[in-house]
Amino acid sequence: MNILVINPMIYTAPPKGAPISRRKSIADSMICNFCQGFVANGHNVTLIASEEYRPIEEETFDFEIVYLENSIAKYIPKFPHGLPVLNGLRKYLKQNRAKYDIVISSELFTFHSITAARVCPEKLMIWQEFGHHHIFFHEIPSRIWHNTTVRLFIKKRVVVVPRSSVAGKFARRYCDIVSDEVVNNSVDTRIFRYNAEKDNFLIVVSRLVPGKNIHYIIEKYIHYIKKYKSEMRLLIIGDGPERIALERYIQTNGFADRITFTGWVRHRDFADLLSRATGFLCCTIRELNMISITEALACGTPVLTNRVPLQREMIAEYGLGIVKGDWTEDDIHKLVENSPEYVRNCKAVCGSFSSIEAAASMIRIFRKFRRVESIKQDEG
């Protein structure tokens, strides 16, 4: 099959108004792994992305990437990066409509999903991550948008596949054709491999920015070390503007020998560290499906998180760690003490995080719904 994936943002966009920092490589991005999953299943893939995310260095993939200009960024610099308007997308879809068997776009509220729904609704699948109204639209405008534009162009015409049960509940409020099957953000399980053997450290994988609440994690870790006399170390992978302040904080508290900042680490290298960690810690303030959580679970590393990430229901349902609003040092202790059980539970589900499995699931879901639709039309 020929598959078109429309995903303007290759990696997490910066805050509103901040420039997008181009990277040397996008090979490790979730969406590139997702596309590679279709290739591994024997399909031809084209990815449409925003020109802003073109890597600095030329890269070759087993699929084609078409970069289109984000036209709105030229005229409204502070317009959120999460809502790009791709110049030429409608023209491309109209010219190449017959070429593709399936078109996969991201999110109900995006301009590129609406454009695809107008041009080729019978071929479109929307891979839905959001489980709530868009923050930029401040709830009420977002509700108006979903109750008008989404209902008009998508409601009865397009297959929606949620990335979490939370996203599924949200999509069903506005759309009729929503899959009961969840297809999570996928990872390359050849790199993020299950490992039952754990070492004596906890891990954080994150940008070091205020929204990730890293200071809170460090504070609770220090309380845990003091209260339970633990030898467990903390490894923080990532970089960002808060790093200097965080390093100063742990030095002031006398824990510089127990907490290590690595900076940014290559995927293949931090996958090994992630697979050996006793537990993964998260307390983000605002997030969707965190790919780092999926990577941890694929490695068999249990997660302690607050109730913000959309993987929270899956973690709680399958016993893959602990989900608690304001978790404390006592919850770190519980995660460590029960880690072997959580690790075994991860083994039962880690295969579902594979990009190859995710791609196969998307095709299976599309065929199922279109077959049902065809039967209904014949009966009508």
* Whole-angstrom distance, CA of residue 109 vs CA of residue 126: 10
| 330 and 341 fall within a common domain | yes
**Which residue is listed with tokens 């996008």?**
26
Nearest-Å Rg of the Cα atoms of the chain is: 21
For the chain, how many residues are written?
380
- Structural domain for 248, as ranges: 201-352
Q: Give the per-residue pLDDT at 72.
A: 65
43-47, 142-146, 292-296: which range is least confident on average? 142-146
Q: 193 in a domain, yes or no?
A: no
* Whole-angstrom distance, CA of residue 107 vs CA of residue 105: 7
CA dihedral 195, 165, 45, 8 (to 10 degrees): -110
| 27 and 173 fall within a common domain | yes
Q: Indicate the DSSP class of residue 286.
A: S
CATH assignment at residue 348 = 3.40.50.2000
Residue 344 pLDDT > 90? yes
When the pLDDT of each residue in the chain is averaged and rounded to a whole number, the result is 90
80-94, 234-248, 334-348: which range is least confident on average? 80-94
Q: How confident is the model at residue 230 (pLDDT cuts 50, 70, 90)?
A: very high
| 373 and 346 fall within a common domain | no
Structure tokens at 142: 């977002």
More confident residue, 108 or 273: 273
Structure tokens at 270: 């931090």
Q: 192 in a domain, yes or no?
A: no
| 25 and 150 fall within a common domain | yes
Residue 379 pLDDT > 60? no
Q: Give the per-residue pLDDT at 89.
A: 95
Q: Alpha helix (H) ranges present in the chain?
A: 30-40, 71-75, 89-96, 111-119, 140-145, 151-153, 165-172, 214-228, 243-252, 267-276, 291-298, 312-318, 329-337, 339-349, 355-379
Per-residue b or e along 336-353, where b marks 16 or more CB atoms closer than 10 Å to that residue's CB:
bebbeebbebbeebbebb
| 265 and 337 fall within a common domain | yes
- Contact between 127 and 183 under an 8 Å Cβ cutoff? The reply is yes
Q: Give the per-residue pLDDT at 232.
A: 97
CA dihedral 187, 188, 190, 192 (to 10 degrees): -40
| 127 and 254 fall within a common domain | no
* Whole-angstrom distance, CA of residue 192 vs CA of residue 221: 25
The residues near 99 (Cβ < 8 Å, ≥ 6 apart) are 2
| 32 and 181 fall within a common domain | yes
Q: What is the mean pLDDT of residues 106-111?
A: 88
Q: Give the per-residue pLDDT at 168.
A: 94
Q: Give the per-residue pLDDT at 146.
A: 76
The residues near 347 (Cβ < 8 Å, ≥ 6 apart) are 194, 196, 300
| 221 and 311 fall within a common domain | yes
* Whole-angstrom distance, CA of residue 362 vs CA of residue 174: 21
Q: 163 in a domain, yes or no?
A: yes
Partnered with residue 48 across adjacent β-strands are 6, 66
| 166 and 260 fall within a common domain | no
| 219 and 327 fall within a common domain | yes
Q: 107 in a domain, yes or no?
A: yes
Dihedrals phi, psi of 96, to nearest 5 degrees: -115, 10
Q: Indicate the DSSP class of residue 193.
A: -
CA angle 261/267/268 to nearest 5° reads 110
Q: 195 in a domain, yes or no?
A: no
Indicate the number of domains in the chain: 2
| 361 and 347 fall within a common domain | no
Q: 191 in a domain, yes or no?
A: no
Q: How confident is the model at residue 326 (pLDDT cuts 50, 70, 90)?
A: very high
**Which residue is listed with tokens 């598959």?**
3
Instruction: Report pTM.
Output: 0.88
pLDDT in tens, 193-203: 999 999 999 99
| 127 and 221 fall within a common domain | no
